Structure 1
């Protein structure tokens, strides 16, 4: 079947915004956000992903090199206006969500009918957290798909050097070394878990303030390294998982780092093997 672009860019935007959390793993905050006289533009969509990273989403109904430039332009505004973003999160998602905002790697998602080879190369070289997502529409919008064409986890904001006049307002998060202070045995165990998660497919590992996120377009596993265990959370339905005390548990209604409703505690290589089916199921929920 031959895909077709949307007749109007606004139709594409409206469809994604209505289904943003299911499609992208991002909670929708606002549409057409004005950036004031200094920037003179409007951000198509703003959101907050499952790990607390601010997300800028820009759309183009067809192939366009400007979509990446627009996203970068608005990223500069976002970093200069953290208070405005926090107020938006508070208004839409409540006080609890404000405390989860993680400024270490704000994300940009560019959605278009296609991208050039120059776009794909630029994403790999920019050093920013950016996803190029190609959409396909069939049968007048009866069937709609999103395909991750290129992705970069980017670098942490720690060490960035904004202009002096803006330094006081820009959020800068310190780089977190999640392996600092753990035992050699736990470091080796993490290496085995890391290999198992990265080996599931085209997976990115992203170091955030509170956890390590493993994702394609959406996150499918989040890891917190503790002294005696590696705690992995997965976006699975707890009712469809055999819960075993001390190994897996239901997190619904409980506060925790990362996303997902099922926790898996890894204490040995055998636990990684025992959880391998859960890891695969979680991965296949997002691809």
Structure 2
């Protein structure tokens, strides 16, 4: 995905400009992600950006330009997240004041956008109680503009591990938020995968449904209220499909919709062949 919004390539890009570009295109980072407000004053500092996802979860977003400290940005975001979780009335009032009437949850998420993240930051993000995304970006110069190309480095909501033992969720619990159309679409996808030799479905205690080849995860399904995300153990080069977004760790994701079902099955066929051949 490319976010285009910087008109000049002849000077240092400001952090505020990077923030504005991302805020205009939040929905491209994640379907349903909506910008609520920028530079919001709290008792512990000024939050760069506040958003809401499609499930009404507040999302705190912190930005750092190239050369800025991603560690500092993560610490700031954690501080705001804790403060907001302890100030739920203030948070709900702020969201309403900024013109959003959709009910919000108490499940606060964090997104940190920076040029790069080292392994220490990634390990720290995985240990947090909040759902955290670390998004890096590369800057590419065109003739009259600069392209910002984001890449998801860490998404702890989509992790394939769990911090504590929990009972598995039922299929109904996983799918309860889906519309009838999306529930039928998921059922069609699950039926197709279960026909593949040595494939089993595992209804995880976390927020995803795992498909395994001989007990090895190769597809993870994240049902959301308005869309279904499929995580595959593939890189962009292996998937070779428009709309496929590569993450770190050899995984990437693709959004399943009625119009992308055939593409999703092509990617599924690719990853199935990879794991079946021992890849």
Aligned: 1:52 with 2:62: no
Cα RMSD (Å) of the superposition? Answer: 4.2
User: Where do 1:20-39 residues align within 5 Å?
Assistant: 20-25=26-31, 26-36=33-43, 39=44
Aligned-pair CA distance for 1:147: 0.3
Asked if residue 199 in structure 1 is aligned to residue 218 in structure 2, the reply is yes
**In the alignment, which of 104, 113, 132 is matched to residue 134 of structure 2?**
132
- Cα 1:106–1:154 shift into 2, 3 Å: farther
Query: Superposed, which structure 2 residues align to 1:98-247 within 5 Å?
Result: 98=103, 101-103=104-106, 105-139=107-141, 141-153=145-157, 178-179=169-170, 191=201, 194-196=209-211, 199-200=218-219, 205=222, 214=229, 236=257, 240=259
Q: For residues 6 and 112 of structure 1, do their structure 2 counterparts lie closer, same or farther at Cα, with a shift above 3 Å needed?
A: farther
Contact 1:130 1:154 in 2 (8 A): no
Q: CA deviation at 1:80?
A: 1.9
8 Å CA contact 1:178–1:211 kept in 2: the answer is no
Give unmatched runs, 5+ long, in structure 1.
Answer: 156-174, 221-233, 242-274
Contact 2:228–2:256 (CA under 8 A) maintained in structure 1: no
- Alpha carbons of structure 1 residues 119 and 280: separation in structure 2 relative to 1, 3 Å: farther
Task: Structure 2: state its 5+ residue gaps.
Answer: 1-8, 160-165, 174-186, 195-199, 204-208, 232-243, 245-254, 269-279
1:40-90 Cα offsets, whole Å, 9 max, x none, are x11100000122211000000025111110110000121122222222333
Work out the number of aligned pairs and report it: 196
Q: Secondary structure at the match of 1:127?
A: coil
- Per the alignment, in what secondary structure is the counterpart of residue 122 of structure 2? helix
SS at match of 2:111: strand
CA distance in 2: counterparts of 1:145 and 1:176, whole angstroms: 39
Q: Distance in 1 between matches of 2:156 and 2:266?
A: 24
Give the match for residue 78 of structure 2. 72
Residues 24 and 87 (structure 1), Cα distance of their counterparts in 2 relative to 1, 3 Å cut: same
Shift of 1:108: 0.4
Deviation at 1:151, TM superposition (A): 2.1
What TM-score comes out, normalization by structure 2 length?
0.56
Post-superposition CA distance 1:237-267 (Å, at most 9, x none):
x6x47xxxxxxxxxxxxxxxxxxxxxxxxxx
